Chains A and B, each alone.
Chain A
Amino acid sequence: MTGTELTGTELTGTTMAPPARGQAGPAGRRDSARISARTVRQAKSVSLNGLGLLIALVTLFPIFWMVSTAFKPSQEIYSLTPSLLPAHPTVGNFDQVISGQVTGGIGPIWLFFRNSLAVTLSTVVFASILSLLASVAVARFRFRLRTTLLVLLLIVQMIPGQALIIALFLDFKSLNLLGSLLGLIVVYSAQALPVTIWMLRNFVATIPRELEEAAAIDGATAQRIFWRILFPLVAPGLVATSIFAFITAYNEFIVALTFLGQAQSAYTLPIYVTYFFGRGGAAWGPIMAASTLYTIPVMIFFLIVRRRLVGGLVAGAVKG
């Protein structure tokens, strides 16, 4: 697929030149060159777009399949010839998940939505405030060990949850915070910090110092400079860090799995979804309905913040 498509590129590269300076050649050759250049360009465009379409559809298929299964009645789900779209769409699976009347269910999904929302929003708030303060320190002040600290954050960011979970489990057990959302909020906020500090530091560093200096000369206090000048300019960065903290908390699995254990009322959405996924005779309709309800909000959220996300992530990834 790519092979032919790329050869097309090569052809246009060389054949597109003649029509541009074609005056020198005979009229007939010029015309044929122009026609063939156009055909090649069209062929190239068609194959490029075809490849793009194919990739997009293959990429979207699993998500489509999740939603499609969620709307299928069970005889269609286990049919020997699966159909792309449900022949008799039903909201029965969603009904079961929402009302909690599902085999292996442990309550209506809204309980776990509420838990996830509480954990996620708290993490976003804590991580944003703490990393904003810290990023101003590393971007605006020169102090001893500043560079060491930045490098240390890059390393700390890579410590996997699996390496820490044993000690975290025992520590939070002795604090009596295992079956609670507070324990998760504390861990997630700290886990998000190394990355959010780096992201915000990059944003703060791009704001010209002269703006603050000018305000200071005009007699503005430190608080005023922060709220009136630095904060509005760093707000887009805060959106990016909020997104990162949001994903960290909304998706996190291993800490929630270990901390929450049998405390079902404190389950977050990922633990809820895996809980009734793991209940033996899997009822795929309700499982897909629950996964859909868990996934769709975050997808909508991502589509809304799409533009900012791409820029922020790239800044975070390429610049550290």
Chain B
Amino acid sequence: MAQSIRSDHAPRSVPRLSGPGSARERLRTFIRRHKLAPYLLLAPALIGIALVLLWPLAQVAIYSFQNYGLAQITGVLPTQWVGFANFSTTFTDPEFWLSLRNSVLFAVVAVPLNLLVGTIVGLLLNRLGKKMSIFVSTAALLAWATPPVSASVLFYWMFNPDGGIVDWALARMPHWLVGSTDWAGYNWATNGPVQAYTMIAILVIWQAFPFVAVTLLAGLKTIPAELTEAARVDGAGPWRVFRRITFPLLKPIYLVLLLLSVIWDFNIFTQSYIIISLGNQNEYNLSMYIYDKAFGFPPSYGLGGALALIFALILLVVTVGYVRASIRQGALT
């Protein structure tokens, strides 16, 4: 090793250093003989992933069985093993169940809507002329490209009770269409979980449908036109064509999109943190509940760890489904 470092500084005209028998050459032979090349190439990336993604997960699992909080981080008291205490505290806290319910209901509503909107736009893009198709997909791309923080702040402004455009427009619509609520000055963010998550669902779908549409469009392009045309000539309506031909052929893509959307929508933090903000407990989702327990006052990393572990396990179930679907799609070939 020392020799090879010196060889970099040696004059170029000394050929022996890079010839057979030099340290460099010996190292090369060693790597080849032991088939080390792939491991050396992988090492930097894997070390990074292990230190920043895997080790913290293990730590979180450890914290979940400890009473790790303010007293422990300041060194006043030592950390102690507390068994399943953090878990039983969690499971007996009604706020936990409320936030879990909010997360689950949000995903149950937002995911199908997102897939529906994405499908409609995807099918439309497939049929539009070139110019119009570029226009629509560019608009969608811009919505998708908007950073979540910008989008959340922007939707908060649009749905704001003071000067927000949504309340203004709703207040001017006929009652038979928008109900008899007094929409002027209606507060979407704090009136309750249904209102807050309606707003967040519109925001999330606005940002996510382009991905669904473009991914489906790529799938639609692989379906031979003769197939759908033949069905149409045989008298099948568009709904039948979609249900009997398009959907079955795109099923694997739909499965991946479904699982990805479930993971993303179950995960949302940025949007809910900005729109709901900490302190509004009855509107928390699981992510916000975890964050508040861990970093709120008093901070409890043990309780947060237990919650993070529960959260990761729920997501693991969906992720395993996603991985299986991806592999069936030929991801590993």
Please give the residue numbers on chain A whose beta carbons come within 8 Å of chain B beta carbons, in ascending order: 2, 6-7, 9-10, 13-14, 17, 45, 48-49, 51-53, 55-57, 59-60, 62-63, 65-66, 69, 77-79, 81-82, 130-131, 133-134, 136-138, 140-141, 143, 146-147, 149-151, 153-156, 158-171, 186-187, 189-191, 193-194, 197, 250-251, 253-254, 257-258, 269-270, 273-274, 277-278, 284, 287-288, 291, 294-295, 298-299, 302-303, 306, 309-310, 313-314, 317-320
Tell whether, in the assembled complex, residue A137 and residue B42 are in contact, meaning their CB atoms are under 8 Å apart: yes
Residue of B nearest to A278 (CB): B277
Tell whether, in the assembled complex, residue B157 and residue A253 are in contact, meaning their CB atoms are under 8 Å apart: no
Tell whether, in the assembled complex, residue B150 and residue A160 are in contact, meaning their CB atoms are under 8 Å apart: no
The stretch among B4-12, B190-198, B287-295 that forms the contact with chain A is B287-295
How many Å lie between the Cα of A295 and that of B148 in the bound state?
A: 10
Q: Which residues of B contact A147 (CB under 8 A)?
A: 332
Known A-B contacts A55-B124, A162-B308, A194-B49; the reply to A318 vs B253 at CB < 8 A is: yes
In this complex, how many residues of chain B approach chain A with their Cβ under 8 Å: the count is 107
Expressed in whole angstroms, the minimum distance between the Cβ of B15 and any Cβ of chain A is: 16
Expressed in whole angstroms, the minimum distance between the Cβ of B128 and any Cβ of chain A is: 5
Q: Which residues of A contact B41 (CB under 8 A)?
A: 133-134, 136-137, 141
Residue pairs across A and B with Cβ atoms less than 8 A apart, 10 shown, are A9-B232, A55-B121, A81-B168, A160-B311, A170-B301, A189-B48, A254-B270, A274-B274, A299-B142, A314-B215
In the complex, per-residue mask of B205-218: 1 if CB is within 8 Å of any chain A CB, else 0: 01000110011001
User: Which of A66, A81, A155 is within 8 Å of B323, CB to CB?
Assistant: A155
Q: Which residues of A contact B168 (CB under 8 A)?
A: 81-82
Is B13 among interface residues, defined by CB-CB distance under 8 A? no
Expressed in whole angstroms, the minimum distance between the Cβ of A260 and any Cβ of chain B is: 13
Residue of B nearest to A78 (CB): B163
Tell whether, in the assembled complex, residue B153 and residue A190 are in contact, meaning their CB atoms are under 8 Å apart: no
User: Which of B49, B54, B163, B309 is within 8 Å of A284, CB to CB?
Assistant: B163
Residue of B nearest to A288 (CB): B157
Q: Determine chain A's interface SS by DSSP, over half rule.
A: helix
Tell whether, in the assembled complex, residue B291 and residue A9 are in contact, meaning their CB atoms are under 8 Å apart: no
Is B316 among interface residues, defined by CB-CB distance under 8 A? yes
Residue of B nearest to A292 (CB): B150
Interface residues of B in 67-116 (CB under 8 A from A): 73
How many Å lie between the Cα of A182 and that of B163 in the bound state?
A: 40
How many Å lie between the Cα of A279 and that of B254 in the bound state?
A: 42
Tell whether, in the assembled complex, residue B256 and residue A163 are in contact, meaning their CB atoms are under 8 Å apart: no
User: Which of B45, B269, B301, B326 is within 8 Å of A134, CB to CB?
Assistant: B45
Expressed in whole angstroms, the minimum distance between the Cβ of B96 and any Cβ of chain A is: 15
How many Å lie between the Cα of A197 and that of B41 in the bound state?
A: 12
Known A-B contacts A13-B232, A52-B124, A78-B163; the reply to A151 vs B323 at CB < 8 A is: yes
How many Å lie between the Cα of A288 and that of B219 in the bound state?
A: 37
Tell whether, in the assembled complex, residue B139 and residue A59 are in contact, meaning their CB atoms are under 8 Å apart: yes
Q: Which residues of A contact B73 (CB under 8 A)?
A: 170
Known A-B contacts A59-B140, A164-B60; the reply to A137 vs B38 at CB < 8 A is: yes
- Supply 19 further A-B pairs (C-beta < 8 A) apart from A62-B151, A162-B290, A190-B48: A9-B238, A53-B135, A55-B136, A65-B165, A81-B168, A82-B168, A137-B38, A141-B35, A155-B316, A158-B263, A166-B308, A171-B59, A193-B48, A251-B149, A253-B269, A270-B149, A284-B160, A314-B218, A320-B329
How many Å lie between the Cα of A298 and that of B143 in the bound state?
A: 11
Q: Which residues of B contact A63 (CB under 8 A)?
A: 142-143, 146, 154
